Structure 1
Amino acid sequence: MPICIECRYPVKTLYTEYSGADDRSSGHGVRLTVCKNCGRFCDKYVEHDFVVLFIDLVLIKPQVYRHLLHNTLMREHDQFDPIVFQYVFFLILCALSTLSFHLSIRFLTSSPLSPLVLSNLIPRYPRPNSVSTALLVSSSTKLFPILMVIWEYDVPAAARSLGWAVVANNVEALKILLDCGYGTAAILATVGAISRWMVGRGILWVAGLDGVDTVGDSGVASDGKALWAVVELGREWGGRLGLG
């Protein structure tokens, strides 16, 4: 049973919907229920969009938690809403994909069995945790989509630009940390991106979603384009410096 988010008093309904109400967030055709206990609206977030929810979550307002935990994400008899399982699935997908990205690069840079180390392309780096730290810091650009909650962007173009920025930062961070060339850093970033893609596709295959186009696919494509752009930019500047 839903509750009033202000005083936690149980109520039968949070709103009354009239004919012609296409979107509750617009407020048209919807009348919010007034709590008999406190005299305030039972759940004002019924009419609010996700931007307001996000801001109030950041501000740790108890009302928004009551809205989500009692009136939205949980059902009768203490059952999860199906969307919760979707969130958990994608959280696991992202976590395992990111883990594979880090482990593959850590192996190539810090393991005695690394083919790059055995072939003397790079010296063995004895601090794998520093490698992961460099990757995490340089991947912080991925936090920029949070702004898309507030401002609208061209999503495909923003995803491509973000992919280029993240890969360029990864390459630069690896180059600085390992004191290697751009080519070696680009190889490491490419292997990490391929590992991330393979793990992501494997999880989707196990879940029966192998035919679904994912963000991981576009991310790998963006990684490849970004790496090629970095190589082309390096060649262009190298040619200019050579001519100068």
Structure 2
Amino acid sequence: MGKVAYRCVECNEKASELHRDYSNGILKITICESCQKPVDKYIEYDPVIILIDALLCKTQAFRHILFNTSLDIHWKLCVFCLLCEAYLRWSSLHGSKQSSDPADIIRYTKEWEFYGMFGLAALELSAFCCGVLWFLWMVVGRLQGRTVELRLLLRALLLSCYGKVLFIPAVIWENDYSPLCLGFIKLFVLTSNSQAIRVILNSSRRLSLTAVCVGLLSETCMAQAVTRLPWSIQDMLTFD
């Protein structure tokens, strides 16, 4: 028996394997000893189905992705999401000054404002993750005496930020309802963060929502602190 590394997607019980490989290429899915259901039904599913279930924030899909796969793209996904958010902020600075002249487009792409917006987005995301991890470490680790795997929680938080990629089509297809769409995207990302925390800690919805609220408060404080600095970073980036 190898090291236990998997979880049942239905009841969250630990399992040593997802399937057993017999001769002639015959695979048999492992049945959970606790709930008597397949440990991970998603190993037979098409990736598109898994993605749809993840978009619907299904607990089973989150457990499959976070526990039963070796998906190690959270840092790359984090950078890509930050680029999407930076593009959203950068485009809002020049929304009223955009020109169809190709020369202007090339000039805009070389401006340092975009990199500044990327830095601000990275600071706010760092504040959000630190706030969530600190709260969970204090409440779950110190008060409840449970083991808190901060590295696994950080991976889950970064992976659950995938909804930020929707910022780009929201900006490209800009219309009168764009602020409402951006609000829904932000709400979706926070919901995914909350679901990821629930899956990792197997905790109540109240705890995960509270942790997300603490992280959001930390993010807001960081944003306010940056704008109230004696020398405003954003003012330096938007000079003409």
TM-score, length-normalised on structure 1? 0.49
TM-score, length-normalised on structure 2? 0.50
Greater Cα radius of gyration, structure 1 or 2: 1
| Structure with the larger RCO, 1 or 2 (CA within 8 Å, 6+ apart) | 2
